[in-house]
Amino acid sequence: MKKAELPFLADWFAISFRWFNLLGITIALTTAGSLIWPVTAGLIFAAIWNVIMSLLATINVRMPSHRLINLCVDILVSGMLYSMVGGLLGPLTWAGLLAILTAAIYYEWRGGLLAATFLSIIQFGLSYLTSFQNDPTPILIPMGVIFVFNLTAGIIFGLSSKRLMKGLRHKYFSEMRQRQNLQQIAQKQERGRMKVFYQLIETLSSTLNYEVVLNTTLDLSQKTFDELGKPTEMMTSAVLLFKDDLLMVANARRFSPTDLKRTFKAAQGVLYDTIQSGEPQICSEPLQDPELKSLLALQSCKQVITLPLARGLDAYGVMLFAHPEPNFFTNEKVELLSMISSQSVIAIQNALLYQQLQLEKEAIIDSQEEAQKKLARDLHDGPTQSVSAIAMRLNIARKMMQVAPDKLADELERIESLARRTTGEIRHMLFTLRPLVLESEGLVAALNAIANKTETTYQQKVRIDADEKIISRLDQNKQTVLFYLVEEAVNNARKHAQADLIWVRLRLSPKDNDLALMEIIDNGVGFDINKVNGNYNQRGSLGMVNLRERTQLINGLLHIDSVPERGTRVQIYIPLTQEAVERIQHGVVDLLQA
């Protein structure tokens, strides 16, 4: 069997004329009263055969030697019907038209003539064998008439078929050329589209510049449509990215200066649907959208498509395209834009991560500089002043040796006490710079060391209450960060709180076993948090900034609660599992409920 893409028109013509012939034969036999059961069986056979050929033509399938087999079957049926209903004297002397038409359609005028000649010979032979063996003279003239009739029908049908098939072939080849041209155009468009798409991927993969990524995304999106033969001079496009829970216009084409300054809450309309569903959304009435209607660039647009810029659970924003034509964004274009947005979100994510790394790098540098400044301040305010005081008292002691030797011993004792205190301050600073006990004995021992040294050096009481089961779930890096968080918070309380007691407590969060809670509590003077935050940029100290930055290093949450004259509570929520980290990153942890 052979299957073709296009229908075999010659088969359909042969099948159609066969049905007409069989219908004519049936009518002629019925009128003549010759529709006996052998003839009926022959007609049924011919009809079943034509049904089979119709089914094959429907599915564009041909048998091997398809034309020759059909012609032989029609000759067989014609001869059988001719002989069974009286031959030369019967009502079906024209039955040969069934085979002549098939031959003319398949083989044009040559086939028509050969079929007419062959059928005439068969009809003469059948008439001679059945009725006129003794004297064939009476059938010569009728057979001559039938022969002329058959030849005439063969010539007429053959020439008509030639003209018809010539037109059909011309139409067929025209359609084939048209199809090939369309395929070539489609292939060219596809190559152009893939070229632009690969260019998009290459450009996005080769840069971590945030602005370049956005410009490339919009420019190549419009260029891709141009490659498809759809000019985009009137197409409006934009990339909207989240900043502080609002969608900001990060980059756009055909947006007015006013549009570039707009923000969107994405709380309703097509922007909300896009973020929530994570699927492209098409809006046919942008001026009816509660948020997009404010954009001047969309006033003439009849159709808008928005695509999510999301990866996993992280939603970065939305890509927006709009056009004045009502049905501009077809399924093909939506699919193409979806591919572009998928690649763009990866590049945007990489650019944002790179930008974040740059900011973290700068934060680390700032933190190092602040640590150096803090060390310089502490040295200046503590040991440096003490050493200067020691030098001054030694000078006084030297003079007292001559003036009042009896008081020299008391002065030397005071100098010794000052020297010991200075030594303690320096050792405390060295301990905070490199806590060897943290590396050798762990966080609990390091926290106890902070408490002991703070009380010994500064006479400040510090109480440590830490659950060692929680510490066993923390890696070394988190333990190091927690050490410095506690050291910073205790140091701040010692300097400013005037507290009788500083309490450091580490325990599981009461309502979330995936979170640990580190608290640094004092009963000191407290402070107004809003007032302090309001002028923090003008303050010389960066204690609270250090607390926030170090909390971010362990993916934690920082909460400070303080009331004047009622003390201060610093709370640090530490995730113990990856699920808890993701909940914190997505803002689904309620500090009041944790």
Q: Give the pLDDT of the chain (594 residues) as one tens digit per residue.
A: 666 555 677 777 788 888 888 888 888 888 877 778 888 888 888 889 888 888 888 887 888 887 888 888 888 888 787 777 766 666 777 777 878 888 887 777 777 788 888 877 877 777 766 655 566 666 667 777 777 877 887 788 777 777 777 777 777 778 778 878 877 876 776 676 666 666 666 666 666 676 777 887 787 777 766 655 555 678 899 999 888 789 999 999 889 999 999 999 998 899 999 998 889 999 998 989 999 998 999 998 999 999 998 877 778 889 999 999 888 888 878 888 888 788 777 777 777 777 777 777 776 666 666 666 666 766 666 677 778 778 887 888 888 888 778 877 888 888 888 888 788 777 767 766 667 778 788 888 989 988 988 888 888 999 999 988 888 888 888 888 898 899 889 988 988 888 889 999 999 988 788 899 999 999 988 888 877 766 655 554 456 777 888 888 888 899 899 888 889 999 999 999 888 888 887 776 666 555
Q: How far apart are CA 362 and CA 26, in angstroms?
A: 98
**Alpha-carbon dihedral sign for residues 329, 332, 335, 338:** negative
User: Is there a single domain that holds both residue 237 and residue 172?
Assistant: no
The first and second tokens of residue 520, run together, are 């640094």
Instruction: Name the 3-class secondary structure at 523.
Output: coil
User: Is there a single domain that holds both residue 303 and residue 168?
Assistant: no
Side by side, the strands of the sheet bearing 281-283 are 263-264, 246-253, 236-243, 314-323, 303-311, 281-283
- In a domain, residue 158? The reply is yes
- In a domain, residue 448? The reply is yes
**CATH, residue 300:** 3.30.450.40
- In a domain, residue 426? The reply is no
User: Is there a single domain that holds both residue 459 and residue 527?
Assistant: yes
Q: Pick the last residue of a domain from 304, 326, 360.
A: 360
- In a domain, residue 209? The reply is no
CA angle 108, 111, 113 (to 5 degrees): 105
This prediction's pTM: 0.45
User: Is there a single domain that holds both residue 452 and residue 590?
Assistant: yes
User: Is there a single domain that holds both residue 477 and residue 567?
Assistant: yes
Amino acid at position 513, single letter: N
User: Is there a single domain that holds both residue 467 and residue 590?
Assistant: yes
**Residue 62 phi, psi (nearest 5):** -125, 145
- In a domain, residue 409? The reply is no
| Cβ atoms 501, 558 nearer than 8 A | no
| Cβ atoms 521, 505 nearer than 8 A | yes
The total number of residues written for the chain in this structure: 594
- In a domain, residue 307? The reply is yes
User: Is there a single domain that holds both residue 443 and residue 300?
Assistant: no
Q: Pick the last residue of a domain from 360, 376, 406.
A: 360
User: Is there a single domain that holds both residue 516 and residue 588?
Assistant: yes
Amino acid at position 116, single letter: A
Alpha helices in 206-289 (DSSP H): 210-227, 257-260, 269-277
Residue 430: CB atoms within 10 Å: 11
**CATH, residue 536:** 3.30.565.10
- In a domain, residue 412? The reply is no
User: Is there a single domain that holds both residue 459 and residue 571?
Assistant: yes
The first and second tokens of residue 370, run together, are 């602040």
**Residue 429 phi, psi (nearest 5):** -65, -45
Q: Which residues contact 516 (CB under 8 A, 6 or more apart)?
A: 470, 473, 474, 506, 507, 508, 509, 573, 574, 576
- Please list the residues that pair with 571 across neighbouring strands: 519, 559
Side by side, the strands of the sheet bearing 501-509 are 461-466, 501-509, 512-522, 568-575, 557-562
User: Is there a single domain that holds both residue 151 and residue 275?
Assistant: no
Q: How far apart are CA 463 and CA 451, in angstroms?
A: 7
- In a domain, residue 50? The reply is yes
From 43, 39, 36, select the one nearest 98 (Cα to Cα): 43
Name the residue range of residue 325's domain: 229-360
**Residue 461 phi, psi (nearest 5):** -75, 130
Residue 263: CB atoms within 10 Å: 14
Q: Pick the last residue of a domain from 360, 391, 420.
A: 360
Instruction: Count the domains in the chain.
Output: 3
User: Is there a single domain that holds both residue 153 and residue 55?
Assistant: yes
User: Is there a single domain that holds both residue 159 and residue 28?
Assistant: yes
